Chain A
Amino acid sequence: MSARIGVITFPGTLDDVDAARAVRYAGAEAVGLWHRDTDLQSVDAVVVPGGFSYGDYLRAGAIAAQSPVMGPVVEAARRGMPVLGICNGFQILCEAGLLPGALVRNTGLRFICREIRLRVENADTAWTAGFEPGAAITVPLKSGEGRFVADEATLDRLEGEGRVVFRYAEPAPNGALRDIAGICSTDGRVVGLMPHPEHAIDPLTGPGVDGLGLFTSVLGRLTAAA
């Protein structure tokens, strides 16, 4: 039986269809979860996709972080279930307290939509185990509030514990501190990043297949654990 990976849809989510497609490309079963759900249907992992959940009201991700489905997601993540937050999903995981720091308005005030190269700084998380450490991947970045910020002590702790998972391979176009594109939880099972790996899984529709590695990585971990 293949692994089952939940993909959450909030009002205003845009990338749930692509995220579910990436899950299927990797060889897992995609299970749709709705923001009002309180039962995760026994999924083995969860993807919180990008978009503009609840219209970015209050702060990006703030309302979604309080939605019914996130209660069980936070609980399961604390027990070690792998969770991946992409773009708005990353913002939601920060707002929900699963990841430290916050995402604020890009320094240039412009919405950035282009392909970008990332370095995989930690190839030992649930979502990056299939990459070589230091590997360069090209995936789309599309966000207006993608600038990662945290206080100096938190940044030092993230660096020291190897929890910077992805770094922009060029000076961060959004002004992210220390060029951080993605981070993980202390156990390496919750990962959040601003760029979109789910849009880079097929050369027909994206810059390549580099993004698929996140989804095959978690699948490898789940099947190894089964």
Chain B
Amino acid sequence: MIVDVLPKAEILDPQGQAVARAMGRLGVSGVADVRQGKHFVLEVDDSVDDAELERIAESLLANPVMEEWVVRRENTQP
């Protein structure tokens, strides 16, 4: 399971801005905006349903006041 969490677009992300500015100093152009978030990799049993995963994301991994998130099933075993 993958859960990606990002600060909401309307909430100022000074960390993302600092990263974007650093890219300019690296000589990279064409990067308009950076948002910095979190990437969670969860190993879960098949018994855990989508509703439960959504509950985990909404109530713990992300804070709905300031963040948005995407949950997707993916085989994370090597």
Which of A100, A102, A107 contacts B14, CB < 8 Å? A107
CB-based A-B contact count at 8 angstroms: 33
- The CA of A77 and the CA of B9, in the complex, are separated in Å by 33
Give chain A's interface residue range (CB within 8 Å of chain B). 10 to 19
- Chain A residues contacting B18 (CB-CB under 8 Å) are 109
The SS class assigned to the A binding surface is: loop
B60/A105 in contact, CB under 8 A: no
The answer to the question of A221 belonging to the interface, with a C-beta cut-off of 8 Å to chain B, is no
In this complex, what residue of B is CB-closest to A65?
A: B60
Which of these binds chain A: B25-33, B45-53, B61-69, B70-78?
A: B61-69
A95/B15 in contact, CB under 8 A: no
Interface residues of A (CB under 8 A from B): 58-59, 62, 66, 94-95, 100-102, 104-109, 149-151, 175
Besides the contacts A62-B63, A102-B63, A149-B65, what 16 more A-B pairs have beta carbons closer than 8 Å?
A: A58-B60, A62-B60, A94-B65, A101-B65, A102-B65, A102-B66, A104-B11, A104-B12, A104-B66, A105-B13, A105-B14, A105-B15, A106-B14, A109-B18, A150-B65, A151-B65
